[in-house]
């Protein structure tokens, strides 16, 4: 009997997770079946419990259920607790273990795959939602000289920075406060790109030899990346590497073997143009 895993979200038709985990399983010789589940809004607990009762061993969780998964878990990792959101579950007898690998996957993609060290660098994250919450602790562990969270609702960014202050040099501000400031790494964690919009960030935040990273993936040259390119930034990336790296973390957590990611990233990469 194959061990069963799944990704749950709504909508779920666009998901690359079955392809990714299928490639991982083939490469590592793991005997698993990985499917996609279209979860019902307001019924996450019932849907997750049904999958578990049918023999499911673990799940990846995507929008809009990351907070529901947090509530469903019986034990949460420190990362998941800090993020307040969960992107992976593991079923172990009566226990439902919860993790958040988004920030770890993003950090690994930046540092390892993009070859862009964060240590001693100035880092800017646009947005103060769940994606940013998940990234903050892994980012601070890389010891940047400063980590700035910019958000439309300034209070939200400031509150988030205050919560993390004991972990490193982090502060929150509004977009208007970024005038005259420059950063080595700029991350767009807002939902603007999903709507084809540009977050209200001044073009002066970028440095030519820095990195502009779009957390959305498969959208090509988004307004954010186009703006960075026009200001002279040569290193542009979208979230495909983050997607694959967080999947590899979950696969390792479930199966005890960490798959090689480069071939999967190469298969899923869409040229940024």
Is 60 assigned a ligand-binding role in the annotation? Answer: no
Q: Which of 66, 121, 219, 267 is catalytic?
A: 66
Contact between 139 and 185 under an 8 Å Cβ cutoff? The reply is no
Whether residue 127 is annotated as binding a ligand: the answer is: yes
- 102 labelled binding-site residue: yes
Tell which residue, 192, 265, 187, has the closest CA to residue 222.
Answer: 192
Asked whether residue 129 is marked as a ligand-binding residue, the answer is yes
Distances (CA, A) of 47 to 64, 92, 93: 14, 17, 18
Is 152 labelled as part of a ligand binding site?
yes
- Residue 131 assigned to a binding site: yes
**219 catalytic residue (yes or no):** no
Alpha-carbon distance of 135 to 125, in angstroms, equals 9
Tell me whether residue 80 is annotated as binding: no
3-state secondary structure of 240: helix
16 carries a ligand binding annotation: yes
155 is in an annotated binding site: yes
Beta bridge partners, 236, equal 212
Strand intervals (E) in 73-230: 75-76, 88-92, 95-99, 122-126, 146-150, 170-173, 185-188, 211-214
Binding site for shikimate, residues?
15-17, 62, 87, 102, 217, 246
Binding site for NADP(+), residues?
127-131, 151-156, 215, 239
The residues annotated as belonging to the active site are 66
Binding site, residues?
15-17, 62, 87, 102, 127-131, 151-156, 215, 217, 239, 246
């Amino acid at each position: 009997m194959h061990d069963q895993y799944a990704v749950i979200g709504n909508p779920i038709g666009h998901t690359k997770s079955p392809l990714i985990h299928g490639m991982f399983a083939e490469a590592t010789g793991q005997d698993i079946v990985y499917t996609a589940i279209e979860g019902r809004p307001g019924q996450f607990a019932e849907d997750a419990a049904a999958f578990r009762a049918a023999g499911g061993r673990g799940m990846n969780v995507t929008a809009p259920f990351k907070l529901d998964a947090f509530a469903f878990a019986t034990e949460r990792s420190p990362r998941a607790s800090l993020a307040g959101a969960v992107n992976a579950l593991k079923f172990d007898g009566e226990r439902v273990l919860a993790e958040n690998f988004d920030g770890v996957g993003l950090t690994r993609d930046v540092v390892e795959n993009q070859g862009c060290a964060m240590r001693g660098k100035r880092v800017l994250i646009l947005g103060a939602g769940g994606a940013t919450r998940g990234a903050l602790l892994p980012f601070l562990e890389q010891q940047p000289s400063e980590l700035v969270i910019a958000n439309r609702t300034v209070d939200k960014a400031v509150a988030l920075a205050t919560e993390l202050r004991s972990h490193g040099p982090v502060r929150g501000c509004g977009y208007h406060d970024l005038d005259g400031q420059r950063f080595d790494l700029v991350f767009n964690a807002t939902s603007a790109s999903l709507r084809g919009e540009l977050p209200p960030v001044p073009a002066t935040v970028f440095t030519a030899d820095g990195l502009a990273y779009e957390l959305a993936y498969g959208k090509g040259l988004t307004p954010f990346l186009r703006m960075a390119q026009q200001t002279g930034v040569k290193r542009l990336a979208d979230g495909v590497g983050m997607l694959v790296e967080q999947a590899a973390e979950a696969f390792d957590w479930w199966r005890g073997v960490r798959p090689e990611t480069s071939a999967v990233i190469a298969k899923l990469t869409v040229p940024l143009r």
